Structure 1
Amino acid sequence: MKAVLATDLSAASEATIENETCLKCLGRIGIEEMHLVTVIPSNVHRGMPGIDFETRRRKAIRKYERVIEDAGFDVETHVVRGTPHRRITGLAETIGASLTVVGSRGKSPLENRVIGSTARNLARTTETPLLVNRIERAADDPAVVRQHLFQRMLYATDFSENAERAFEAFSYLRHATQEATLVHVETPKDPGLSNDEDPEAQLGELADQLEAWSIETRTEVRQGDPADEILAAEESHNPTTILIGSRGHSRLRRLLLGSVSEDIVARANGNVMLVPPSRA
């Protein structure tokens, strides 16, 4: 499996790349080849006096390349120009990546209200499963918040096709997962279920699949706003990563109010893994 690891060469990005435990977790789920990419914003020009961003970034990225090689991965580096989330998405599609990894400090009111961070833009546009690795926010020398990426998973489902696709990620995550909490949030008009379907029973069927892989599993049905309740479940169960489909049932909600997945990326305390719909 191949992964794209995006970096802006900041201290936060360095925390993701240099965390030995995180790298081991990626290896455990089958990642063998890592493509390390940094994007020079399109408004930064080669001719700016006294500044050679491309040379500086190529020099800086070599240090990260050695770290990843020492962890046992094959590595290719890419220094490109353009809009960060578009170039990262394009590279992932070009190489056929199974996962894109990006560090994010998250929880910035400015990011949420204005244009959004690279991580949030990737959440909107990615065609590849996206792992948002949460970094400490208020620290001069930040570290990753959850070192074991997939040890304790919180899987949130609305029983849509995309949620089912997200659950399929356990086929490789199981090699690094010990515990899982399966959560469904009921809303007054729940388009995911017909009147004769029982969410507890459906979660139970999913739990049986995980327990067959020796993953200790619990299920929980909540009522209320999906994003709020998923985040409340995160607070209760302290997972290392939330796993969720990047599109739910309501296209209208996504267009007008922002999707549940985008809210989770912006507000979660720990890591978030988004799985987009199948292109078909």
Structure 2
Amino acid sequence: MRVLFATDLSAASEAAIKDQTCLECLGRIGVDEMHLLTVVPSNVHAGMPGVDFEKRRREALSNYEDVLLEAGFDVESHVVRGTPHRRVTGIAETIHADMILVGSRGKSPLENRLIGSTVRNLARTASVPLLVNRIERATDDPDPLQSHLFQRMLYATDFSENAERAFKEFSHLRHATQEATLVHVRKPKGQELDEPSPEVQSKLDELAGTLEDWGIETEIDVRDGDPATQILEAGAEHEPTTILLGSRGKSRLRRLLLGSVSEQVVAEAAGNVLLVPPVR
């Protein structure tokens, strides 16, 4: 598997790339090739006196390369210019990446609905799965909020085509996953709902059976209410290391707008999020 690690060379990015447990998790799911990418924004001019931004960034990336090479990955670095999220998605497609990985500071009480603009734009436009690795806030030497990436997964499903596409990620995640919670949220229309219908329960049991066959201890959690709110509450209750879900969108316009559920979960989840986009 090939992963594109997009970094702005911040403390959050450094924490994500230097966490040995996270690197071991990537190795377990079959990642053997890492591409490091940093983007020099278009408004930073190469001719600014006394400053060679590209040289500085290549030197900084060399420290990351050493860490990844020591961990056993094949490594290639890229320093490019342009709009960050556009260059990231473009390079990911060019190198046929299987996943994009970014480090992102966890939310603060004053920013409970905000994420970095680059991460938000990647969530809207990436054509391969996007793994947002949450990093501590308010410290100069941050650590990832979760040491393990895939040990405890929370998978949210509405049984849509995109949710099914996200579930297929377990085909390689299973090598690093020990526990999983399957979350399905029903939308009540002003009335209380009874137990899940036999059809819904059968689908959930089938998914759980697949995971159990892979040796993953699995539980089912059916909830009523607003999907994004309930997924986030389930995350707070079950404390997964990563929330896995698919994003909606059939047309190019809808892909750019991103489903509100996906965007809210990416923005507000306390832990990591693995967002799987629809097929273009």
Give the TM-score taking structure 2 as reference length: 0.91
Aligned residue number for residue 220 of structure 1: 221
Aligned residue number for residue 244 of structure 1: 245
In structure 2, the residue corresponding to 1:158 is in which secondary structure?
coil
Equivalenced residues, count: 274
In structure 2, the residue corresponding to 1:148 is in which secondary structure?
coil
Contact 2:107 2:114 in 1 (8 A): no
Superposition deviation, residue 137 in structure 1:
1.3
Instruction: Classify 1:249/1:88 alpha carbon distance in 2 versus 1 (closer, same or farther; 3 Å).
Output: closer
Q: Quick one: which amino acid aligns to residue 182 of structure 2?
A: L
Instruction: Classify 1:183/1:129 alpha carbon distance in 2 versus 1 (closer, same or farther; 3 Å).
Output: same
Instruction: Classify 1:112/1:44 alpha carbon distance in 2 versus 1 (closer, same or farther; 3 Å).
Output: farther
Superposition deviation, residue 246 in structure 1:
1.5
Q: Which moved more, 1:153-162 or 1:97-106?
A: 97-106
Aligned residue number for residue 192 of structure 1: none
Q: Quick one: which amino acid aligns to residue 118 of structure 1?
A: T
Aligned-residue RMSD, C-alpha = 2.5
Aligned residue number for residue 152 of structure 2: 152
Mapped to 1, the partners of 2:63 and 2:35 lie a distance apart of 14
For the pair 1:186 / 2:219, whether they are aligned, the reply is no
Give the TM-score taking structure 1 as reference length: 0.91
Cα deviation per residue 1:208-254 (whole Å; 9 max; x = unaligned)? 00000010000011011111100000011000000000217999998
Superposition deviation, residue 201 in structure 1:
2.2
Contact 1:35 1:77 in 2 (8 A): yes
Instruction: Classify 1:251/1:109 alpha carbon distance in 2 versus 1 (closer, same or farther; 3 Å).
Output: farther
Cα deviation per residue 1:131-161 (whole Å; 9 max; x = unaligned)? 0000001211111001110000000011100
In structure 1, the residue corresponding to 2:223 is in which secondary structure?
strand
* Matched ranges for 1:37-48 at <5 A: 37-48=37-48
Mapped to 1, the partners of 2:99 and 2:254 lie a distance apart of 26
The unaligned stretches of length 5 or more in structure 2 are 190-195
Aligned residue number for residue 25 of structure 1: 25
In structure 1, the residue corresponding to 2:155 is in which secondary structure?
strand
In structure 2, the residue corresponding to 1:260 is in which secondary structure?
helix
The unaligned stretches of length 5 or more in structure 1 are 190-194
In structure 2, the residue corresponding to 1:198 is in which secondary structure?
helix
* Matched ranges for 1:1-280 at <5 A: 1-107=1-107, 116-188=116-188, 198-247=199-248, 259-279=260-280
Mapped to 2, the partners of 1:69 and 1:250 lie a distance apart of 40
In structure 2, the residue corresponding to 1:78 is in which secondary structure?
strand
Q: Which moved more, 1:108-117 or 1:43-52?
A: 108-117
